[in-house]
Structures are given as structure tokens and as C-alpha cells.
Amino acid sequence: MAQVVFSSWGRNIIDNRKGGEVTEATFRLPVAHDGEHPMAAFMGWDGFIVFDGSVDIPAMAAEYMQRVQTLYCCGKCTPGKKGTKVLADLLAAVLDGNATESDLDTVADLKELLTNCKCTLCQSSTIPVMDAVQYYRDEFVARINGGKPQRGEHRYIHKYTAPCQDKCPAHIDIPAYIEAIKDYRFDESLAVIRDNMPLPSVCGRVCPHPCETACRRKNVDEPISIMVLKRSASDYEWQHQATPPMQPKPRRNKTVAIVGAGPAGLAAAYYLALEGYPCTIYEALPEGYGGGMIAVGIPAYRMPRHILQRDIDIIAAMGVEIIYDTRIGKDISLAELKEKFDAVLLAPGAHRSKPMGVEGEDAGYKGFLKGGIDFLREAYMGKPTGMGKRVVVVGGGNTAIDCVRVALREGAEASYLVYRRSRKEMPADVWEVDGADEEGVQFEFQVLPTKVLADESGQITGVECVRMALGEPDASGRRRPEPMAGSEFVIECDTVIPAIGQDPDLSFIPADSGIDITKWNTVVTKYVPLKGADGKGLKDGMGNELARTLITDLDGVFASGDAEIGPLTVVACIGNAHRAARVIQRWLEEGKAYITDEELLEDILSYLPVYDKNEQVPWLDSAARPHQVEIHGKERASKGNYQEVELGFANKKAVKEAERCLRCYRMAMAAV
């Protein structure tokens, strides 16, 4: 519980300024923004919160509106351009004693005027200012009459964001790139995307687009098709044979080694190379298989290889060297990398499959494959997979879905997916499950494999299973599956592929290196100890501490991607790696690994969070979300057919979809 002096956040007024019984409130804010300096006040799109009574509220409100007006008001509409200027000047006049008390009454009129703005930045910025004038009016009047400001020395830090941008792990400026598409400026859209996403073709196709879960448009009708619009901007460039405009800064004399050419390694290399730092990536796979899990873990019908390779070639052109077929710990040691380079980033990806833990999986039966990741890799590389004609894949994630769909393309006559929970509770993306369903995959939901069966020759003949009933929710929030007595049955098959998860292979890190490994097989990195009012550390939705610096306990060695946050998504790895690149740059230039005030506030906002699913969003007309062109029918999964299934938007459709965006910018400011 947070002890507050005053709060108008969420339109819920808490006022403890007069003493008496103190009203407590729960706010998802740390007690100290950097683990050391107290959070004194917070001002944003839904009001303001005061923790420290010495904060000068008139000064904070004036500074808030000044930053909105000078830094972020786009000036594309008259109410926003002129209204924010008038309001900023009025608040400045209050501080200088050059206003009158009646001037304060015009704030409400200005707030009403700004409801007619083109976007929501200027609209939402008036909310905390209006609240401040209304509930701290005496302090504003005192300043008008020449009163001295309240005591207390505070500095202000701010962050410009949007609900979708906040939810995106890479924090792409989504409204800006959508706005550019709306104006037919596909090149400018792509430039905005690349500021935070160096693999736009990839994340325009395979991203699970968590941003769309925080799209305010869905409070009206349906979320904007953010991912496909990203693809539209990216495809426009290569379809028109345009040369990417990025140019790296002059070459510097400090170098960086990166372990792994997956999304994290490539992203970190791209941003460091743009700053002039020569980067060398060491990749265990042979040449032609850059991209890590994107290349060998995501099938070509979802991510065409020539398009992936183009993104990689663009990164290499920035001055990044990729050395293939080189395994760290075998061909070159971590100690040698540390000696040879000024900084080392560990981003090996998660290529090791987890075991199922059922009877018979370790018996060496013919047809029991090592894991889903291995199966996908060997299928893509054209190696024998060991797959037969009747395939059972165990798991419920995207890798499991990819396996059952690839099995059909590799010639399976029957492809089964076995999952112990219901379809609704599958972690796989809904559209991927729908795609597998359309292609003829057979699903066995609420089923748990208990034993792998084989004949005398050691050939798998089936999987013994038991049906499950869903009980009470477990720690994940999903209902716990429990075996049903007497429900045992057998699925006849000749191939079993476990696809229940994967881990990074960190065996190349020596035990005496000084680098710690967690029980989840991830690299331990340092972080800023952000704590809530209850004294507990703040963590993101994945259980990771906020405000991580990504440096290990071994100076000069950093970690990123799956090896640092655990096996997640491409976009999560890229967002993590972009921060790693910035921290590495500071390490190389200043000798310190730290994260900035803006990055801290970025993490804090993601915890707050920015999107409110219960917000009543006003809009005149509803407009349906368009769907990208897609190849339909079971024949798309015929043997050897890896042609892309989803084909994106035509440019006209992309522009029309971009017009649905509400441009939901917000600005937050903290007094520290």
C-alpha cells in the first residue's frame, strides 16, 4: 500500500493533506525511481499523484505542459498547436506572478478546446493540469500573488509513449509509423520502425504483436493491424528495390564480440555498428543460416528465407562481421573473446529442447525425436529428420504448432498435436492454431502422454495417454489439468516429437568464469532494485526484474535475448538487445554500465501500465479491421510446399487500415 499526500489518478480522489485518518492506495509505482531517489510525485494522462508534500505542484504542472508543448505537440491541428501554447504560457505567467486569479478559470475552457485535437497527446495532457489547478488552487493563487514556492528540490524526468508503444517489448513508436503509412510515406514509416526494430521484415510476419492487446481502438471495435502494417512498410522497400538509407557513424577503435546471430545478437550488432563500433558475431550454424531461431525454428511458410536474409545483409552492411560454423567453448573460448575484444555480449538463443518426462522417452526407440527445435532445424537444413508417416507432437506453444504443420509438409499422412489443457489455454498464437486446423492437423486436447510404446524391434508404435479434467487455477492462472481415472487410450503413431519448451545451451560458460546461471538456465545480470510500497521488487509479466543493466558479474561481459530473459519472442529479444547495445556503448565510452532515467521510466510505465482496458473511448464511427490476403486450403500444406501462407496488405489496404489509428500518445513525468 502506498502512502500518498494527494492523488487524482484514475478519477479517484485521495486527499490526505488535512491530516486525520489517512487513506491508503495501491499504485504500481516504485517508492524510488532508481532504487535510491524517492519518487516524489507523478503526473500523466490520468491525473497526478503526490507522495511528498514539499513538491511544488504549480511548478510541476507548468513544466509538464511546457515539455508537452515544445517537445511533442505535432502542430498538425490548430487546437493542439495553439491551445497547448496558450496553456503553457498561462502556467509560466502564474509562476512569474504575471497572471490573475481569473486566468485560472480559463484552464477549464482550454481543456474543453483541446478535446478537439487531432490526437490524444494534447487532450490527455490537460487532465493532470486541470486536476492540479482544481485541487491545488490555493498554491496557484499564492504564486500569482507573489508567494514563494514550496520548499523541496526536485528534478523532473519524462517519457513520451502510447499504450501500444508501451506494450511493445521493443518500444517502437507505433503511432508515428502508422501515421506515415496513412500519408503514403512508406519509407519514413520504415525509418521510424528501424529506430527500434532492425528486423522489420521478420517482426512484420512472426511477431505475436502484444501491442495489439493494448490498442485503444479495440475499446471501440477492433485493434489496428499493427504487425501487418509493419510488414507493409518493410515490403515496400524491397519490392521497390530501394536502398536502405542508414549510414553508420565513423569507425571507432573499440570492438565488440557477440555470441549468436539470432535476433538478439543481430539487433545489438546493428545498433552498436550504427554508432561506429565494429562488431563480430560468432554463430554455430553454417553460413546461410543466420538468424538463429528465426532461420531454423520458424518455418519458411511463415518467414521466407530470402526476406530474412535481406534483413541480415542490411545489418552486415552496417559493418557487422558474422563468422559462421564457429562454436564458443569449442572453436574459441569465452576467455579468448574477452581478451580479444573490449566487450562481449552473450546471446546464444534457446536451441536445446526440454524433455517430456514420460516413460520410454530415454529408451532409444526409433521414431522418438530429440525435440521440436531439432526437428524444425533439420527439416529446414534438408537433413534426415527421422520422421515417419504418423506423427505425434506433444506441446501447446508455437514451436509445437510449427512442428505439426511442418510434419505435413515433410510428407506425414497424419499429424497429431497432444496438449494437456484446452485449446483456449494454449500458449500458441490463436491464428497459428487456426492455420494448423485448416491444414488438417488433428488435435487431442486435455490429453497427457504417459508412456511411449514400441515393438520388439524398438520402433515406436504409439503413445499411451490419459484424458485430463481441468481443476483449479495454478500459479500461471490457468486451470490445473488432473488425470481422469479409467480414461487411458493409445494414439497409434511411428513418430513422437516433444515440443514442450527449450532452454539456452550455456555450457560454453566455464563454472569459474564469475558468471552466475539461474535455476532456469539463464545468465544472471545486474539490475536496479526497484521496490514497491510493500518492499517487494517490481517484476515484469515474465517474472524478470525491471530495470536490468544486462551486464554480468564479469566486467565487460553482457547477456541478452533468450540467454538473459528466457525463451520468449523475437520482439522481446530485440527490445532486450537494443537496451544491451546502449548499455554496452556507455560501458565502452564511460566505463560504467547503467540505464538512463528515461529507460527507468520506460520500465516503470510498462509496470504501471499505460493501457486501460476499461476506458470508454469516444469515436464517431466503427470501422472493421481488414484481414491480409492468405492462401487457404489443405493443399497449402502439401509435401514440400513451403510457400508463404500469409501475403500481407496491398498498399491501398494498408493506408486505409492506418486511417483507423487514434494516435494515442501520452506523456508521463515524475518528480524525483
Give start and end residues of each alpha helix (H) in 224-371.
226-239, 263-274, 293-297, 305-317, 334-340
Task: Decide which of 440, 472, 502 is a domain's last residue.
Answer: 502
SS3 609: coil
pLDDT tens by residue, 618-643: 776 778 899 998 888 888 888 888 89
pLDDT tens by residue, 90-122: 999 999 889 899 999 998 888 888 888 878 888
User: Do residues 12 and 150 both lie within one domain?
Assistant: yes
pLDDT tens by residue, 193-208: 999 999 999 999 999 9
Residue 475 to residue 228: CA distance in whole angstroms: 33
Q: CB atoms < 10 A from the CB of 240, how many?
A: 9
Residue 1 has pLDDT above 60, yes or no: no
pLDDT tens by residue, 33-84: 888 888 999 999 999 999 999 999 999 999 999 999 999 888 788 877 888 8
Residue 176 has pLDDT above 60, yes or no: yes
Angle, nearest 10°, between helix axes 570-590 and 263-274?
40
Residue 621 to residue 606: CA distance in whole angstroms: 30
User: Do residues 67 and 110 both lie within one domain?
Assistant: yes
Task: Decide which of 103, 133, 158 is a domain's last residue.
Answer: 158
User: Do residues 346 and 359 both lie within one domain?
Assistant: no
For the chain, the domain total comes to 4
Q: What is the pLDDT of residue 115?
A: 83
User: Do residues 484 and 526 both lie within one domain?
Assistant: no
Q: What is the pLDDT of residue 20?
A: 61
- Cell numbers placing 635: 493443399
Would the CA dihedral through 627, 630, 632, 637 be positive or negative?
A: negative
> What's the chain's average pLDDT?
90
Of 156-160, 529-533, 648-652, the one with minimum mean pLDDT is 529-533
CATH code (residue 578): 3.50.50.60
Q: What is the pLDDT of residue 419?
A: 93
Q: What is the pLDDT of residue 35?
A: 83
User: Do residues 519 and 423 both lie within one domain?
Assistant: no
Residue 254 to residue 199: CA distance in whole angstroms: 25
User: Do residues 497 and 509 both lie within one domain?
Assistant: no
Residue 365 has pLDDT above 70, yes or no: yes
User: Do residues 208 and 326 both lie within one domain?
Assistant: no
pLDDT tens by residue, 220-279: 999 999 999 999 999 999 999 999 999 999 999 999 999 999 999 999 999 999 999 999
pLDDT classification of 297: cutoffs 50, 70, 90: confident
User: Does residue 623 lie in a domain region?
Assistant: yes
User: Do residues 450 and 308 both lie within one domain?
Assistant: no
Query: What is the DSSP secondary structure assignment for residue 359, as one 8-state letter?
Result: B
Phi, psi (deg, nearest 5) at residue 355: -75, 155
Sheet containing strand 495-498, edge to edge, reads: 442-445, 414-419, 390-394, 495-498
Q: What is the pLDDT of residue 393?
A: 95
User: Does residue 215 lie in a domain region?
Assistant: yes
User: Do residues 466 and 365 both lie within one domain?
Assistant: yes
Average pLDDT on 426-430 reads 88
Task: Decide which of 443, 467, 502 is a domain's last residue.
Answer: 502
User: Do residues 339 and 381 both lie within one domain?
Assistant: no
Q: What is the pLDDT of residue 216?
A: 93
Domain containing residue 128: 2-158
Residue 290 has pLDDT above 80, yes or no: yes
Closest alpha carbon to 3 in 588, 617, 533, 575: 533
